[in-house]
């Protein structure tokens, strides 16, 4: 398995221009390649492939919206601080965290233009995860 060095998710978007603006301006991905309905972006060791599907319905928050991309980071709080100005331009409710989660991750969630979520997460200690579980059960 030493041949595998990266997993690159495909993100199906209803509007390529809107998705590229969001991912490059707000989340600082760099556009490396684009043609017609396809684009390839990188940010450090992370990459995304976009495929435009005009007419694809936007996920409705609270209904079918879910985390569709998970990016592991070393320090989610430092990333949040770095992106704070850009994240502040998003609509209310489109950013959540950073917050410790019961599943031993500290996560920052950002709603994508298609309505689903992108999560940035870092591993946390068992003690912090237990405290998060206790908060969720209150």
Of the candidate ranges 2-11, 26-35, 108-117, 124-133, the one whose mean pLDDT is the lowest: 2-11
Read off the tokens for 7: 């997993």
pLDDT bin (cut points 50, 70, 90) of residue 52 is very high
Average pLDDT over residues 75-81: 95
Sign of the alpha-carbon dihedral angle for 16, 22, 27, 29: positive
Furthest-apart CA pair in the chain: how many Å? 50
10-136 topology per CATH: 2,3-Dihydroxybiphenyl 1,2-Dioxygenase; domain 1 (3.10.180)
The more confident residue out of 58 and 12 is 12
Q: Is the pLDDT of residue 124 over 70?
A: yes
Output the six-digit token pair for 44.
Answer: 């450090």
- Evaluate if residue 65 carries a pLDDT over 70: no
Q: How confident is the model at residue 68 (pLDDT cuts 50, 70, 90)?
A: confident
């Amino acid at each position: 398995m030493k041949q595998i060095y990266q997993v690159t998710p495909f993100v199906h978007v209803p509007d390529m221009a809107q998705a590229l603006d969001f991912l490059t301006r707000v989340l600082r991905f760099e556009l490396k390649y684009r043609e017609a309905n396809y684009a390839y972006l990188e940010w450090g060791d992370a990459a995304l492939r976009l495929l435009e599907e005009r007419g694809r319905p936007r996920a409705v928050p609270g209904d079918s919206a879910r985390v569709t991309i998970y990016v592991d980071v070393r320090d989610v709080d430092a990333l949040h601080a770095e992106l704070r100005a850009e994240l502040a331009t998003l609509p209310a409710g489109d950013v959540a965290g950073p917050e410790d989660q019961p599943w031993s991750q500290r996560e920052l969630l950002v709603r994508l233009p298609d309505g689903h979520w992108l999560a940035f997460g870092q591993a946390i200690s068992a003690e912090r995860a237990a405290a998060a579980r206790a908060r969720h059960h209150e």
